[in-house]
Structure 1
């Protein structure tokens, strides 16, 4: 009886492994109007699921560089010409499947910037033994990464200490791949609308334009004449691409 059970288990195992075929899938996250999301900004997180059952088939972070700027941003795109190489950021999944599987691919990026993380997804059939390599599956990630540098979160600022009743706003803004935004650069700061929206005790009181002062750094100033709880919202908007980004900070003006 034991020998029969062992034989059945062996045959089952053998048959499963005879049909399961390793299948490689390359998944990449690309910032809209920019380059690939890689190590320099913490990467993107990829989850591949069986669309019918919800089972996670593979997951992990993209690794590698942002790619060749000239090839991605300046070279006219021709059919069947790759825009990536073996150093370009991506996540290589290897699935053991015995029949075609309809999968969903979810991307969260950039994974280390929680206030800026955007998700993107697609669905497709994966066929056993039919690898998807090269550029692979590219999922576009729109937006900007914005970090308000000043004022700081929950900073207490004395009204008496504020010179000329004005405090400065500083905000660091980059593309979702970390690519540099600068005055007249490839990602031109002058084409991006950047503003601060100031609220006091929940009520909007000011809009403040922010201008680029050095690569990625946008600055402005806030007029302050009273104490209270303040919230500052900084947004960026590029009308040509539709890219947007937001960060928020709360601070307190004391007597």
Structure 2
């Protein structure tokens, strides 16, 4: 490394005096020592303040559950509900994640007498649980999307609550309700090409219909297919040509119908389900070609 030279001026002799880099090294060490001392003093001032702030924050436990309207809880078996908890004032995300667990006890929820103060959950019932550190009462937005993995049927449900430091919201927790059905057209498949001569005048179509929690729909069951209207709106070249009923089959959740057709062309099938008692609805659409 090159040596550093420090010049000073001797007033008596009128000459410049050259010094080696050891003087510069001593100056650098002095500056470094002063900087370290200042940083230590700053740390001693700020650290107690930081500790004080964090000592005031308390972990507050929160349980959120997602329940299908007129049915059970949305848990692991159907993909769960994705929950987000935000500070209403700042928008900061305080917690997020999926509900996990079972859909719950059918006898307890659907067949028993539900009374105020009587829980309808058990320890395995699906939930999202978070521990949130807050130092003062905080107004939060709670949002969930479910069923999270069934994007064609997923809906959003939201609510708002005050979280109080150290005051847990457990038990049933915060309940979010999700109306609707999960409806999937199984046949024909999307953009399927079907030969007219193979149909022999009749196109059979099939759909799957379940509750938002994944609970089965059957004839005469807890979720009775007889109380649900399932119909298909048929369009050809964008023009509505028919509306046909679908009926439950021997297989749970499966409904079938038949379209009489002798015409080639581009078709669209819009299937809907409607429960007049609960207001639950579901829709799925596909396009196919008869050639």
Same fold (TM over 0.5): yes
- How would you bin the TM-score normalised by the shorter chain? over 0.9
Cα drift, residue 4 of structure 1: 1.8
The 3-state SS of whatever aligns with 2:49 is helix
Matched, 1:168 2:183: no
In 2, the alpha carbon distance for the partners of 1:210 and 1:167 equals 13
Match of 1:184 in 2: 220
Given that 1:85 and 1:134 are in contact with CA atoms closer than 8 Å, whether structure 2 keeps it comes out as no
Secondary structure of 1:181 counterpart: coil
Which residue pairs with 1:134 in the alignment? 171
TM-score, length-scaled by structure 1 = 0.97
**Gaps spanning 5+ residues in structure 1: where?**
none
**In the aligned structure 1, how far is the partner of 2:52 from the partner of 2:284?**
54
Larger RCO, structure (CA 8 Å, separation 6 or more): 1
Show the counterpart of 1:75.
112
Q: Return the alpha-carbon distance in structure 2 between the equivalents of residues 173 and 142 of structure 1.
A: 14
Q: Which residue does 1:246 correspond to in 2?
A: 283
Aligned to 2:86: 49
Equivalent residue in structure 2 for 1:86, among 106, 118, 123: 123
Partner of residue 50, structure 2:
13
Gap regions ≥5 residues in structure 2: 1-37
What's the CA shift for 1:74?
A: 1.4
| Number of residue pairs matched by the alignment | 253
**Residue aligned with 1:182, SS:** coil
Contact 1:210 1:219 in 2 (8 A): yes
State yes or no: 1:25 paired with 2:62.
Answer: yes
Counterpart of 1:37 (choices 57, 62, 74) is 74
The correspondence of residues 150-165 of structure 1 with structure 2, limited to 5 A, is: 150-163=187-200, 165=201
Deviation, 1:86, is 1.4
The CA RMSD over aligned residues, in Å, is 0.9
Matches within 5 A, 1:102-117: 102-117=139-154
SS of match in other structure, 1:136: strand
Q: 1:124 aligns with which of 145, 158, 161?
A: 161
1:8 shift after superposition: 3.0
The residue aligned with 1:4 is 41
1:197 aligns with 2:240: no
Determine the C-alpha separation between the residues in 1 that align with 2:138 and 2:84: 15
Q: Point out 4+ residue stretches in structure 1 off by more than 3 angstroms.
A: none
Offset of residue 203 of structure 1: 1.0
* Alpha-carbon separation, structure 2, partners of 1:149 and 1:243: 21
SS of equivalent to 2:46: helix
Larger radius of gyration: 2
